[in-house]
Amino acid sequence: MDELVTETGAPRPHAAALMEFIHSLERDELLDRQQVAELDILTMGITFTVYSDGANIDRAWPFDIIPRVISGREWSQIERGLVQRLTALNRFIDDLYNDQQVIADGVFPADLLDDSVNFREQCRGVHPKHGVWAHISGSDLVRDDDGQMYVLEDNLRVPSGVSYVLENRAVTKRAFAEIFARQSIRPVDAYTDELNKLLTSLAPDGVANPQIVVLTPGVFNSAYFEHSFLAQRMGAELVEGADLAVGDDDCVYMRTIAGLERVHVIYRRIDDLFLDPEVFDPESMIGVPGLMRAWKAGNVGIANAPGAGVADDKVVYAWVPDFIRYYLGEEPIIPNVPTYRCMYDHERAFVIDNIADLVLKPANESGGYGILIGSRATDAQLAEAVEAIEADPRNWVAQPILSLSTVPTLIDHEIEPRHVDLRPFILTGERSYVTAGGLTRVALPKGSLVVNSSQGGGSKDTWIIDLHPASGA
Amino acid sequence: MALLSRVAERLYWGARYVERAEDTARIIRSYGDLIIDLPSDVPLRWEPLVELTGSEPLRGDGRGEREVMEFLIADTSNPSSIGTTVARARENLRTTREVLPREAWYALNALHQYVSSEAERAVGRRTRDRFLGRVIDDSRRLDGVLESTMTRANPYRMWRLGRLIERADMTTRVVGLRAASILQMRAEGYTQTQVQDPVTGQIQAISEATTFSEGDEPVRDDQDEVQWMSALRSVSALQMYQRATHGPIEGPSVVRFLLYYSAFPRSVQGCLDEIRAVLAQLPDPDTVVVALDKAEAVLASCDPGADDGVVLDAAMETVQAALADLGRAVDVRYLSLGG
């Protein structure tokens, strides 16, 4: 199905004003606006980094001018569903690192935990502030043919893309200035301020005006633009591991031209395993020796908390509805995509029998890597996949092939439907915050379902439109 | 406001690269004007411009206008070409966006796009002047943005420091370039005499061939004001020089102005004074101030003269060495992570 138009080609109510506006423009003018937007992206230096032939290339962010529109009423429901989901996930993580009641109660199998590559024994017994581990998360949503939104996966480690939500909006505002005045489109700009408040709340007790830093792996990281963007918007320092040091007092300091200065909160954008060579990978060049000591002593707040990734796992995903029931006593507001877990014999047998009709996913890869779409695979690829499943069943889950919804997209001077997903960002602390919409990623090749920008995907602005803003919901 | 040493390094070098690009553009522009102005029998060559940038002499036989312009404007293998310095400045600013006003980044990013697409064409004469003008204007615009919207704290000071040290160095190179052309003209047996244009009454420098050999009287080329005017233009100083001196444009006076006239912001002394003021506001600048004192002493005693290319050139080299020491002191004190 299409997000903006019905099967008969009529615009959906929340997209009516947009479609009318687009159709009122001469095609040349629409193309012209697309070009202006692309020029803006170049001038503003909105980029992402791709690895190609061993080199890092800074590429202009791919953007399609036609936004994706969601009604405010539907969105409010999704917001509640995301807050519910992240609340339950955080309860689960906190439980795993402390009492493990969820295992004792037989809700989550103990052997899954033993196999987890993202469980960090070093984090046992830690009580982060607010009981929250995954402060910043991005859950990928897709809409199937039946019109239902599903959660496809939860990114709880270092999800990226939120900077493009804000920049896409800035670009769209200029490209479609007229239409913003005519409609009630929910603003997205508050995100960085909300993030700043959240990070501030993670400071050690008694620190009123904490020094917040964004810890980046460095300029060659694919998300460096975002790291820089967030630091800039929050007035935080952007640091690399070498800029930080942990003193004998187990406090974290940064190296400034005036000497060492105390750091209170770290928004880390590097993976757990590289955080602290004393505790994790001793070869890590981008981490900070002693960081875990400082964190455990309560001398620095770290977001997301080390170990939070334990729940960012395509196998654990299958249990999230159970966690929502177990911890909150509620039914999930947004459903999971039905997920078959290859670790269980009967589910594995089903997967192997029906492999050509399923999407096969490795449990711990991100960025869309390692995914096999059964209906598009060759027999040899399918046989190879079966072998991989049997060799390491826990590492594989399978889901029915969803038909992702589409949004009209400018392709070579024509408007054509292209498949999209949506990544909203959720902040969880003392309270929760969800971006108004999120990052809509679009698969540009005809029929493609791969939306990742590292694999040729594009992006769109996402509008949450309240048709009746006076209703005061 | 905290300033990470690593960020300090990027700001400082970002500023130096922008300044180098701007100053190189100014110099190419005024030197190009000069060559066009001079009668065609004056064998002033493009080649000295290459040494101006502290680069190795060009390899091969290509030393004409096109080769030199290619080298200074577009050559990505030349670390001092406008293309390279703008790209490096952009990389330094891209990685310090969190401390800079966003308009500053936009200004430099736009310049980088322009330079990337236009540099190759600017090697030719037709679009060169517009290209150089854009580099100069955007560099000034960038400083304008920072001047009017950036908090006066250590990041701003570090930027200023980079600008000023590079600017002082480039001014000595403008004087050095003049020294080189004195030497070159002399070696080729040319000097210039000054005549009054019978129609306009203006003083013009006319070159004529003389015979020159070792042991002759020193050639009188202190009248070649066209070339000294060009040197002043290279640092946008001509008008200010005239207002300050009310005197004729002659070598010794111009050299004194460019080195010591501290009220002029591109004079070497003017830059050093500003550096001193910036250092006074940075944390624990003592070791850098020592290097600054030394540079100032070297400048005061460098005894440039203006007639003798060899002496002038040597004097500029000692000042450049002192400025390099000052740069090293900044590096050790502020830019190294251990600092």
A356-407 tens-digit pLDDT:
999 998 876 655 678 888 988 999 999 999 999 999 898 899 999 888 999 9
Quote the pLDDT of residue A365.
66
Rounded Cα gap, residues A172 and B90, in angstroms: 26
Residue numbers in B near A256 (CB within 8 A): 2-5
pLDDT band at B205 (very low <50, low <70, confident <90, very high): very low
Q: How many CB pairs under 8 A join A and B?
A: 72
Are A229 and B8 an interchain contact pair (Cβ–Cβ within 8 Å)? no
Higher model confidence: residue A455 or residue A265? Answer: A265
Rounded Cα gap, residues B84 and B90, in angstroms: 10
Lowest mean pLDDT among A47-51, A246-250, B202-206: B202-206
Q: Considering CB atoms only, which of B106, B109, B283 is closest to A257?
A: B283
Lowest mean pLDDT among A200-204, A252-256, B111-115, B220-224: B220-224
What is the DSSP annotation of A439-457?
EEEEE-STT-----GGGTE
Q: Considering CB atoms only, which of B98, B154, B282 is closest to A231?
A: B98
Are B98 and A257 an interchain contact pair (Cβ–Cβ within 8 Å)? no
Are A261 and B2 an interchain contact pair (Cβ–Cβ within 8 Å)? yes
Give yes or no for residue A126 having a pLDDT over 90.
yes
**Largest Cα span, chain A:** 69
Q: Which residue of B has its CA nearest to A230?
A: B98
Average pLDDT, chain B: 85
- What is the DSSP code (8-state) at residue B301? T
| Per-residue model confidence as pLDDT tens digits over B120-171 | 999 999 999 999 999 999 999 999 999 999 999 999 999 999 999 999 999 9
Helix (H) or strand (E) holding A138, with range, is strand A136-143
**From the CA atom positions of chain B, what is the Rg in Å?**
20
pLDDT band at A281 (very low <50, low <70, confident <90, very high): confident
Three-class SS state of A378:
coil
Are A257 and B3 an interchain contact pair (Cβ–Cβ within 8 Å)? yes
Three-class SS state of A276:
coil
In this prediction, residues B43-57 reach a mean pLDDT of 73
Are A229 and B339 an interchain contact pair (Cβ–Cβ within 8 Å)? no
Q: Considering CB atoms only, which of A232, A255, A256 is closest to B98?
A: A232
Quote the pLDDT of residue B191.
52
Q: Which residue of A has its CA nearest to B106?
A: A44
Residue B301, C-beta contacts closer than 8 angstroms, at least 6 positions apart:
none
Residue numbers in A near B97 (CB within 8 A): 228-229, 231-232
pLDDT band at B203 (very low <50, low <70, confident <90, very high): very low
Q: Considering CB atoms only, which of A45, A242, A255 is closest to B109?
A: A45
Give yes or no for residue B213 having a pLDDT over 50.
no
Are B28 and B73 in contact, with CB atoms under 8 Å apart? yes
Quote the pLDDT of residue A57.
73
Q: Where are the domains of chain A?
A: 13-337+402-471, 339-401
In this prediction, residues B237-257 reach a mean pLDDT of 89
In this prediction, residues A246-265 reach a mean pLDDT of 97
Higher model confidence: residue A48 or residue A121? Answer: A121
pLDDT band at B74 (very low <50, low <70, confident <90, very high): very high
Are A226 and A217 in contact, with CB atoms under 8 Å apart? no
pLDDT band at B320 (very low <50, low <70, confident <90, very high): very high
Give the closest residue to B234 by CA, choosing from B21, B25, B48, B18.
B25
Quote the pLDDT of residue A197.
97
Overall domain count for chain B: 1
Quote the pLDDT of residue A370.
80
Does A219 reach chain B within 8 Å, measured CB to CB? yes
Are B4 and A239 an interchain contact pair (Cβ–Cβ within 8 Å)? yes
Are A258 and B337 an interchain contact pair (Cβ–Cβ within 8 Å)? no
- CA A229 remoteness from chain centre: 16
Give yes or no for residue A51 having a pLDDT over 80.
no
pLDDT above 90 as % of chain A: 77
| Per-residue model confidence as pLDDT tens digits over B260-282 | 999 999 999 999 999 999 999 99
| Per-residue model confidence as pLDDT tens digits over A410-429 | 998 899 999 999 999 999 99
Report the 10 Å Cβ neighbour count for B326.
27
Quote the pLDDT of residue A296.
97
Quote the pLDDT of residue B190.
57
Quote the pLDDT of residue B172.
94
Interface predicted TM-score (ipTM) of this complex, two decimals: 0.82
Quote the pLDDT of residue A305.
98
Torsion region of A259: left, alpha or beta (phi above 0 gives left; psi -120 to 50 gives alpha): left
Residue numbers in B near A257 (CB within 8 A): 3-5, 8, 154, 158, 282-283, 333-334, 339
Average pLDDT, chain A: 92
Residue numbers in B near A259 (CB within 8 A): 283
| Per-residue model confidence as pLDDT tens digits over A137-193 | 999 999 998 899 999 999 999 999 999 999 999 999 999 998 988 888 999 999 999
A339-401: CATH architecture = 2-Layer Sandwich (3.30)
Give yes or no for residue B223 having a pLDDT over 80.
no
Residue A24, C-beta contacts closer than 8 angstroms, at least 6 positions apart:
none
Are A257 and B158 an interchain contact pair (Cβ–Cβ within 8 Å)? yes
Higher model confidence: residue A435 or residue A361? Answer: A435
Are B227 and B234 in contact, with CB atoms under 8 Å apart? no
Q: Supply the pTM of this predicted model.
A: 0.88
Quote the pLDDT of residue B34.
83
Range of the domain at B264: 5-210+219-335
Give the closest residue to B82 by CA, choosing from B33, B31, B28.
B28
Quote the pLDDT of residue B216.
42
Q: Considering CB atoms only, which of A42, A228, A243 is closest to B97?
A: A228
| Per-residue model confidence as pLDDT tens digits over A309-344 | 999 887 889 999 999 999 999 999 999 999 998 988
Higher model confidence: residue B179 or residue B66? Answer: B66
Which site among B4, B6, B284 would you substitute to test the A interface, given the most A Cβ atoms closer than 10 Å to its Cβ?
B4
pLDDT band at A449 (very low <50, low <70, confident <90, very high): confident
Quote the pLDDT of residue A217.
95
In this prediction, residues A259-285 reach a mean pLDDT of 93
